[in-house]
Structure 1
Amino acid sequence: MRFGDGLCPCAERFVIEAYFDVPSVRELLARCGACASDMAAIKEVVALEWAFFDRVEGLEGRAACQDDARSFFIYRLAQYLAFSFAFVHLVLDDLKGLDAAGRNPVAEKYARMMAVTDPERFRADWSHVLPAVSPVRACALHEVERALAAFARKAAETSPKAAAHARAETSLPQRVSAVDYMLAEVAPYSLRTVWFLRDALDDMARSDVNPILDAYAYACAIDRLPGV
């Protein structure tokens, strides 16, 4: 996998943006409490991510999933619906900043996931390439990890069938856990966004809301929407 220049061409984004114009998708977003600015933000976030994803270069060439816009749309929208729209707006600000800096956060995410799925290759190829993580950021990410790990354990205990369809509880060679996937994803974000996520996860725990199970439920619902 190579990083590419991180600059998002518009053409790739149109493929994803079209899904957000499907009436059933707009109705779902409205039922979830999205206002017009929320809909615009989540549409731009997922479209940016798709463009970033399109530019990731695998070690063995382009992966089949990079041409599966529908699945990408379903899983990314489902994940964001499991959190507040305030989080989506923060992510959008961060993605725009990373793009302007010539960074590809999706490529960085896959490189960071390699740290737990293929540690030897990560140490050889990527540990010296990724931006260093400051002690403050490391502490914030550890707090996010603690909260996510609790959700993963609870999902496996209370809803084993649903959890079996989600990402693994523990990372294995060539298979990343839900916790490590999310940590790799948010690592490039601003501290403001990481701290917001940490606090949101703590609020969810107090309210007995599990974003891992919610994301799976949303993915199933989106997959059944007419026109998707």
Structure 2
Amino acid sequence: MTEKSIQELAEEITQREWKMFHNTQNIGGQASCQNDRETFEIMRKSQWETCNTPVLNSYLTDLIRAEAAGYNLLTEKYARMMEYTMPEEYGKIKDKLPKISDIKQEITENILKEYLPWRKEVNKKYPKLSNAGRPLEKNDDTEEVTSVETYYRGELLTYSVETLELYYSYILDCVRAGRNLVRDNLENMVKMYGYSSLEDAEKKL
């Protein structure tokens, strides 16, 4: 059987995630973004296309297993964020969420230690593009606004330990190679919106 390309894997992951995202039940009812499939697909594919095949295959397996169990990983992702954005509401639901193992917590925090400096670097170089997004750190969380740190922590905690281990190893390889995955993600995204480069998008905003 022919191995799927990174683009094919990113596409399949995004479509499976979309179903979960669209079906996630929020406290205040369905959000408008849950019907904006085009934006969702651009945001997710731009991220997944920065990953390597082992990471993508592992996360795809996570999604397939969750689907088979009737479990929504995207619902869990947003519930995890509530620990910082809506702590009182989070206290009411936390016991319903899967318990996070020490190893999963540790790898997640190690990934964030590498990821957040990448984001700071991109924020500094492309301030117009960055200002259109989320604040960086959890100290800036509110009920209305979720920081990059809280959003990404919530997502990482839904990955299996196997996926986290592969992803962390890949991130360390990228660090050693001088590659910034946040920059690559943003570049993918602006190109999907029709810009020729990050510099082009930054100049035209």
Alignment check: 8 A CA contact 2:107 2:165 kept: yes
Alignment check: 8 A CA contact 1:78 1:215 kept: yes
Task: Give the TM-score normalised by the residue count of structure 2.
Answer: 0.84
The residue aligned with 2:199 is none
The residue aligned with 2:184 is 214
1:206 aligned partner, one-letter code: R
Pairing 1:91-102 to 2, within 5 Å after superposition: 91-102=59-70
Percent identity of equivalent pairs:
25
Q: How many residues align?
A: 190
Counterpart secondary structure, 1:61: coil
Q: What CA distance in whole angstroms lies between the structure 2 residues aligned with 1:91 and 1:76?
A: 13
- Cα distance, 1:82 vs structure 2: 2.2
Alignment check: 8 A CA contact 1:56 1:107 kept: yes
Q: What CA distance in whole angstroms lies between the structure 2 residues aligned with 1:180 and 1:75?
A: 17
Question: Runs of 5+ in structure 1 lacking a partner?
Answer: 1-34
The residue aligned with 1:143 is 110
Task: Pick the aligned partner of 1:81 from 36, 42, 49.
Answer: 49
Task: Give the TM-score normalised by the residue count of structure 1.
Answer: 0.76
Q: Runs ≥4 in structure 1, deviation > 3 angstroms? A: 35-40
2:43 aligned partner, one-letter code: Y
Q: What CA distance in whole angstroms lies between the structure 1 residues aligned with 2:165 and 2:32?
A: 34
- Cα distance, 1:94 vs structure 2: 0.8
Question: Runs of 5+ in structure 2 lacking a partner?
Answer: 196-205
The residue aligned with 1:177 is 147
Alignment check: 8 A CA contact 2:80 2:154 kept: yes
Alpha-carbon distance change, 212 to 51 in structure 1, aligned in 2, over 3 angstroms? same
Q: What CA distance in whole angstroms lies between the structure 1 residues aligned with 2:147 and 2:182?
A: 11
Alpha-carbon distance change, 162 to 84 in structure 1, aligned in 2, over 3 angstroms? farther
